[in-house]
Structures are given as C-alpha cells and as structure tokens.
Amino acid sequence: MEETIDRGQLHELAQQLRVDSVRSAAAAGSGHPTSSMSAADLMAVLLSRYLRYDFDAPENRANDHLVFSKGHASPLLYGMYKMAGAIDDEELLSFREFGSRLQGHPTPEIPWVDVATGSLGQGLPISVGIALAGKRLEKADYRVWVLCGDSELAEGSMWEAFEHAGEAGLDNMIAIVDVNRLGQRGPTMHEWETGSWAARAAACGWDVQEIDGHDLGAIDAAYAQALAAGKPAAIFARTKKGSGVAAVEDKDGQHGKPLADPEAAVEELGGERSQRIEVGAPPAPHSYEIETAAVGRPSYELGEKVATRGAYGDGLAWLGAIDEKVVALDGEVGNSTYAERFAAKHPDRFFEMYIAEQQMVAAGVGLQTRGWKPFASSFGAFLSRAYDFVRMAAISDADLKLCGSHVGVSIGPDGPSQMALEDIASLRAVFGSVVLYPSDANQAVALLDAMRGHRGISYMRTTRGATPVIYEPGESFAIGGSRTVRSSDADDVTLIAAGITLHESLDAAAQLAEQGIAARVIDLYSVKPVDADAIVRAAGETKALITVEDHWAEGGIGETVAGVLAEAGTGTPLTRLAVTERPTSGPPEALLAAAGIDADAIAAAVLQAL
C-alpha cells in the first residue's frame, strides 16, 4: 500500500504530545505521563487525520466523539486540546490545580469531554451508548473513538461492551487499545500478547487488528481499515509505556508519577513545541425523525390493587408518547419490571441490554450525552451490579433515570438474592441523586413524570406486589415532598413509611384507632430530597415517631428521618422498624411479619413507644 502520510510531521506532533504530557505532570507534581506517552503516536494520527471535531462548537451534534476510557492519560488528552487550539499552554500547565477544569481525570466540566472516566472499564461501555444513539436513533454520521488501556481489559464490563457493540453492529465505533504492557504495579496479565483479546473481540463480531502502536504508517492504515470495516473495529496497538524517554520507556515502577527529570526528558524528546493543527471538520448535521405511538396517561381507580412496577411500565409508555427524547433500557427482565410495556409501544427507543447491568447503565450514560432521557430498569437488587457506573455517572453530571423493581422482603418466595434491601442506602449516597419510593400506582406515574423533568440521577423503587390505589388519578407529587395520608386534630404518634410499608402503617393506624390511639401517617415517597418540614412538624405535634421500611436499617428511611430529627434537636423519640435479620423464602405476609415491619409489628411498636 502506498503511504500517503508524512511520517516526519506526524512524529513531530506525537513528540509534542509527549513533551506536553511530561510538562503538565511535572507542573502538577503528579499524574500519568508515561501512560500518556505510550499512546501519543496513536493520538497524533487520530487528531491530525481522522477526528472530525469542531472545538469551537462542542455542541455541534455532528462532531465525532472521543472518549478516553483510560482516563488517567488525561495529560495526553489535554495536550491534544492544546494542539487543536482549544486551550493554551498556560491552561495546560494548570493541570490538577484546585479550580482548574483540567482535573486528574477528565470530567464534562471540560466542554469537549462527554463523560467522566477514571474508573477503568467504563469508557468503552459508555461509548456503546453514544454509538447506539447515532446508529439506532439518530442515523447520524459521527464516529465514536475510544482510547482504552490494556489493564482495563481485565474488567468484565469491557467484554459486555464488546459483545453489545458486536451484536448491535456499531460500525461507528472504534476502540483503540493502548497495549503498553505495564499496569500500575507491574506487567499486565497478557503483556504484549494481544492475540487472546483479539480473538475474543473477533468472536464478538468486531473487526480486529493487532499493530505496532508506534508505527505511524501502521496506525494510519489501521484507522483507514477500521472506518471501512462495516462493523465495530478494535485496534490492539502494542506500545511502550513512557515511550520516547529512555529513563522511563517500558520500565516498571513508572506508573502514575511525574518524570524524575522532566527537563532532560523534554530535551530528549526534541524540546518544547507549539504546533497547532486544524482538526477535521464534522459533516453537516442532519435531522432524524422519531416515531411515537399515542399512549394516554395511565390512571387507576381508588381502591384498585395495582403494583407500582406495573405503573412504571404504563407510565413509561406514556412518557414515551409525550416526550420523544425518552428511551428505555432493561436488563432482560422487562416482563418483571414492566419496561416491556414501553417496548411494545416504542420499540425503536427500547434497548434490550440482556443480563448486563453495567452495560445497561453505561449505555444510558452514553445515550444522555446526546440529549436522550434514558430510563434503565432491572430488579433493584441487580442494579447493585452497576453501582460504580452510577457513582461515575454522578461525576459525569449525567441525566440518568433508574428504576429498581422487586424491592424488599415483600417479594416473597424468590428469597434474599432477589430482594433489594440496600438500594435506598446506596443510591442516596450518590452525589445529587433523587430517591423516590411511590406508595401507589397513580403516584408512581406522577413521580415518573417528575423524573423525566428532573435533570440528574434519579431512582424509583417499585414494589412487586399489588397494593391499593390511595391517590386520585392526576394528583401531583413533587420531588422533595411528602403526603400526610392520615391525621387528626390530636395525633398521638406519627408513622412514617413509603411503598409497601405505607399500607402496613395505614392498617396499623386503623388497629390503633380501635384502641383510642390516633396515628398520623406520612407517605415519605421522596426519600431524597426529604420533606424535613413535615417530619419536624410531626415531631412537634406527636409524642413519638415510628419509621417503617422494607429495607435494611442502615441508610434508608429511618436514618433519613433520624438525620432530620437530630439536626432539629427535637428530642421526640424515634423508633426505626426495618429489616434486621437475613430474610428467607416464604409468602410476603410471613416475611413482612418475620421482619417486624407489618401492621401488627407497627402497632406493637407504637404501644411500646407511648
């Protein structure tokens, strides 16, 4: 093949990227210059010859996407920004300073960064979502370039991504794997033996190439082949960590630290440079159309018994009809979460992610980078599989809506492996999150619509079993609110609950009324943010508070309320009823009773508290 590239010119660009990686890490006194230098040749060719990106208009929807799955190579990425004229040298040297947007790992605080990376194994699965948006929804021409590390190929999530991209035929996706042989603490499992990975990626339906990642001609040819492959393309590029500087090149013990002698290294690399290149322009954006089926707002009759998971499915199908940006993902349990009801109405916007919860959440994060509003659902218990992805989504400032069904012991005979009992705690402990736990079907629909309108990470917890409808159809519920569903002029005690235990609380209140005890019942459907005023008011107006939740005692409704009370310093005693023993299989009623969170247990707790 005739070579059309100017090797000397490309080498100069690559050397600048190396020099700037050395310089920025030296200025910061920390960072990963050697992990940047290994991929400098790969990125020099990409930036100067293949990437199509208008750095002046990051909002241009026709721009390619560039995701650094190996986020620790941020010095390289920031050097590319400088080379593209997007930042100046002064800003480059602010790397890792307090207040600089050039953080240790990239975040979307930088306008050219789609998602935060730095937890390895996430950039590729997130890119699957970005590529799905282009391929399936927008029929767009943009490409998704992903720079991956070799160490992160040990993460199973990377192989979920390979499988899904292959299955979906994402020919707009190019994974560039910087196989620099050395991980943080020594050699990787496979070092430069790229054959095992290549065989696996090929088996997943990818075009695969194994190249010398410092051969500029080979890199150029590989990109050209990748773009012509007609399927997702992976380039396994053997490189040397710290390439270009003898003191660190391919040497162990040089991970994640500035070079000992940066001045000498810069000199060895040929000195500082300030080459500026014109990055290729994106193609003209084009429009696309989304089909929507007509679906009315679901409503349920008072007293009817409906599972909130069913209302999730109905409500989601309705949201899909009124908002074409709404998309849904499910982890092969759509007939349990009822996401299938969305799929039936809006098949083009439904993504079956199979039993790969990490890939499901990652795809949601990818989809929202393009303005889609993803609702991702599975059993609440299994969302715990993707916890790191949700954690990182918060750093990405992602607009991600999650739903976990089958929560708590009340699911019954399937047993503890299927019961979400830690979901409120874990998802409250996500930055900026909203945690909702509807108590009836009409409320679930209203809260779903609130989630649609809320930008950020929100979670809805739904119940497996049917519970009575207690709110009128169309009643509105705000994030951060609560409802007092039972009260009198002189309440003795306040019961605070949500979901299944709200109904147990109402039953308990009815029992207590027969004994002359007036119980206020608060539906704390918004666990985060919480309606502190209602809690403090109840603490002032009643003699004791009881929280009841189908969740572990830690981090759930009880502790949320405790936090409010302790900060207010009310002194009203609180009793927290929650699951405190390992549950087992059995009928829901038996399990609620065994956990001490059914109506009888609540009534008994009230008598003891008073």
Catalytic positions, written as ranges: 357
| 484 vs 575, beta carbon nearer a second copy | 575
Tell me the CA distances in angstroms from 4 to 13, 217, 220, 221, 224, one per residue in order.
Answer: 17, 9, 9, 10, 12
Using rule CB under 8 A, residue 157 touches a second copy:
yes
CA 137 to CA 476: how far, in whole Å?
A: 32
Asked if 169 touches a second copy (CB under 8 A), the answer is no
Instruction: Answer yes or no: are the C-beta atoms of 107 and 119 closer than 8 Å.
Output: no
Q: Say whether residue 232 binds a second copy (CB under 8 A).
A: no
Binding segment (CB under 8 A) for a second copy, from list 33-41, 234-242, 438-446, 560-568: 560-568
Using the minimum distance from each CB to a second copy, give the nearer residue, 301 or 567: 567
**Toward a second copy, which CB reaches closer, 4 or 184?**
184
Residue 204 touching a second copy (CB under 8 A):
yes
Q: Which of 498, 490, 551 is nearest to 519 (CA)?
A: 490
| Stretch of 33-41, 78-86, 398-406, 581-589 contacting a second copy, by CB under 8 A | 581-589
Strand-strand pairing, 574-579 and 544-552:
parallel
Judging by beta carbons within 10 Å of its beta carbon (0-12, 13-18, 19+), is residue 263 exposed, middle or buried? exposed
Alpha-carbon span 344 to 370, nearest angstrom: 24
Query: Looking at beta carbons only, is 64 or 160 nearer to a second copy?
Result: 160
Give which of 203, 149, 155 is closest to 39, Cα–Cα: 149
Task: Tell which positions 88-147 bind a second copy, by CB under 8 A.
Answer: 96-100, 103-105, 107, 109, 116-121
Residue 111 or 432: the one with the smaller Cβ distance to a second copy is 432
Sign of CA dihedral 289, 295, 298, 304: negative
Q: Could you say which of 196, 476, 488, 608 contacts a second copy (CB under 8 A)?
A: 196
Site for a second copy in 397-436 (CB under 8 A): 397, 412-418, 421-422, 425-426, 428-432
Q: Which of residues 358-377 bind a second copy (CB under 8 A)?
A: 358-359
Alpha carbons 442 and 302: distance in angstroms, whole number = 9
57 binds a second copy (CB under 8 A): no
Edge-to-edge, what's the strand order for the sheet holding 483-486?
483-486, 519-523, 493-497, 544-552, 574-579
User: How many residues bind to a second copy according to rule CB under 8 A?
Assistant: 116
Chain centre distance of CA 129:
11
In this structure, are strands 373-379 and 326-330 parallel, antiparallel, or unpaired? parallel
Q: In the bound complex, what is the minimum distance in angstroms from residue 98's beta carbon to a second copy?
A: 3
Residues between 314 and 333 with contacts to a second copy, criterion CB under 8 A: 332-333
What is the C-alpha to C-alpha distance for residues 488 and 401, in angstroms, rounded to an integer? 37
Of 1, 2, 59, 185, the residue at the interface with a second copy (CB under 8 A) is: 185
- Out of 52, 60, 154, 324, point to the residue binding a second copy (CB under 8 A): 154
Stretch that binds a second copy, among 50-58, 79-87, 277-285, 384-392 (CB under 8 A): 384-392
The answer to the question of residue 183 lying near a second copy (CB under 8 A) is: yes
For position 19 contacting a second copy by CB under 8 A, the verdict is: no
Q: What stretch of H or E contains 180?
A: none
Q: How far is the CB of 572 from a second copy (least distance, A)?
A: 6
Pairwise CA distance, residues 123 & 423, whole Å: 24
CB of 384 to a second copy, least distance (A): 4
Q: By CB under 8 A, what part of segment 59-78 binds a second copy?
A: 71
36 binds a second copy (CB under 8 A): no
Q: Which two tokens stand for residue 150?
A: 């070799």
Q: Identify which of residues 398 and 506 has a Cβ nearer to a second copy in the complex.
A: 398
Contacts with 253 (C-beta within 8 Å, 6 or more apart), sequence order: none
CB of 181 to a second copy, least distance (A): 13
- Cα→Cα distances 551→406, 457, 458, 463, 544, Å: 12, 21, 18, 12, 21
How open is the CA angle 20-25-261, to the nearest 5 degrees? 90
Asked if 184 interacts with a second copy (CB under 8 A), we say: yes
Q: Compute the least distance from the CB of residue 169 to a second copy, in Å.
A: 13
Among 13-21, 299-307, 390-398, 466-474, the segment contacting a second copy (CB under 8 A): 390-398
Does 262 help bind a second copy (rule: CB under 8 A)? no
